[in-house]
């Protein structure tokens, strides 16, 4: 399943979030494949697309950042999957 994940951090958390990102790269855990990550040029927001059959793994990945970032995780479908839904 694909997940569209948006993130946002406050100006007060910027330095800590950037430092952790530089240090770790924020890689996905086992069982999650990150297909891409995009960051707003103005900062403080961005999104990524990940694939996993394990929603718990997605949740654990986000949990490791919730002290600094706010997330919205949305399961999404491809065109082909939507075609199956709508027949």
Condensed to tens digits (0 to 9), the pLDDT of residues 59-72 reads: 999 999 999 999 99
Is the CB of residue 3 less than 8 Å from the CB of residue 58? yes
Q: Which two tokens stand for residue 62?
A: 């986000």
CATH 3.30.70.1060 fits 2-86, yes or no: yes
List the Cα angle 72/76/79 in 5-degree steps. 150
pLDDT in the model for residue 33: 98
Tokens 């430092």 belong to 19
Which DSSP letter does residue 52 get?
Answer: -
Q: pTM value?
A: 0.91
11 exposure class (CB count in 10 Å sphere: 0-12, 13-18, 19+): exposed
């Amino acid at each position: 399943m694909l997940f569209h994940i948006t993130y946002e951090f406050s100006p007060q958390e910027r330095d800590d979030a950037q430092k952790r990102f530089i240090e770790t790269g924020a890689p996905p855990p086992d069982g999650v494949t990150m297909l891409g990550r995009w960051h707003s040029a103005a900062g403080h927001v961005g999104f990524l697309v990940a694939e996993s059959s394990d929603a718990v793994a997605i949740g654990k990945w986000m949990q490791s950042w919730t002290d600094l970032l706010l997330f919205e995780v949305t399961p999404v479908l491809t065109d082909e999957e939507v075609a199956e839904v709508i027949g």
